[in-house]
């Protein structure tokens, strides 16, 4: 999980969590919006950096290993290519997406890698949730991008168990859309039998 409004307003790891930094971000984005209007096009922020600097933070290296390689590259992927519009995140500064997380009454499963740079988003959101129908599942040894496609690390059995335990109706595992992109569902289900 990524709290996009938090990272936009406060920077990664809340490093710019102050009014002056947010004001400067708004000023820059509004100036860009005016320039985009004058140019009749949107400036792009750029996707995952290329070439990858030797001193890049580990999470940037993880993103590179996914978005810039055959593992996750796609011609239409914003992170693989030129990125989002520079101004697309402007509204996130004024709209904290998880403001009402504590009011969620439905079951909530937050899944994060133990070594994910973004883990703090789920941990802080979990603290806001109320009731006994919530779970924070930290996957040992996993980074953020491992949970995109690493079948050896995604805890399908624990995800299934959560949804089955919280469901009022019987749910069949193959009904979850996460499996739709995998052609060999049988191999996946066999892998997790008896785990």
Q: How many CB atoms lie within 10 A of CB 189?
A: 15
Of 3.30.70.270, 3.40.50.1820, 3.30.479.30, 3.40.50.300, the CATH number of 101-192 is 3.40.50.1820
Pairing of strands 108-113, 134-139: parallel
CA 145, CA 152: separation in Å to the nearest integer? 13
Q: How many CB atoms lie within 10 A of CB 116?
A: 23
Q: 165 Cβ partners below 8 Å, 6+ apart?
A: none
Q: Are residues 153 and 139 in contact, defined by beta-carbon separation less than 8 angstroms?
A: yes
Name the pLDDT band for 1 (thresholds 50, 70, 90). Answer: confident
67-88 pLDDT, tens digit each: 999 999 999 999 999 999 999 9
Mean residue pLDDT across the chain: 87
Residue 37 φ then ψ, to 5°: -60, -45
Alpha helices in 131-175 (DSSP H): 146-149, 156-166
Burial class (CB in 10 A: 0-12, 13-18, 19+), 170: exposed
Map tokens 């400067």 to a residue.
24
7-55 pLDDT, tens digit each: 999 999 999 999 999 999 999 999 999 999 999 999 999 999 999 999 9
In the chain, what are the domain boundaries? 1-44+84-93, 46-79, 101-192
Q: How many CB atoms lie within 10 A of CB 145?
A: 20
């Amino acid at each position: 999980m990524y709290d996009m409004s938090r990272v936009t307003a406060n920077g990664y790891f809340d490093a710019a969590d102050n009014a002056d930094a947010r004001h400067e971000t708004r000023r820059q984005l509004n100036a860009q919006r005016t320039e985009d209007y004058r140019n009749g096009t949107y400036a792009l922020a750029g996707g995952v950096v290329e070439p990858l600097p030797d001193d890049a933070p580990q999470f940037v290296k993880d993103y590179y290993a996914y978005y810039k390689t055959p593992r996750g590259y796609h011609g239409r992927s914003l992170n693989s290519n030129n990125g989002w519009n520079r101004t697309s995140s402007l509204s996130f500064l004024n709209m904290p997406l998880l403001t009402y997380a504590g009011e969620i009454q439905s079951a909530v499963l937050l899944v994060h890698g133990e070594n994910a740079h973004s883990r703090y988003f789920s941990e802080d959101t979990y603290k806001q949730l109320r009731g006994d129908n919530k779970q924070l599942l930290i996957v040992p040894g996993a980074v953020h991008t491992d949970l995109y496609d690493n079948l050896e690390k995604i805890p399908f059995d624990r995800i299934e168990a959560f949804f089955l335990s919280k469901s009022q109706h019987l749910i069949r595992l193959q009904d979850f859309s996460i499996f739709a992109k995998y052609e060999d569902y049988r191999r996946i289900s066999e892998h997790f039998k008896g785990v």
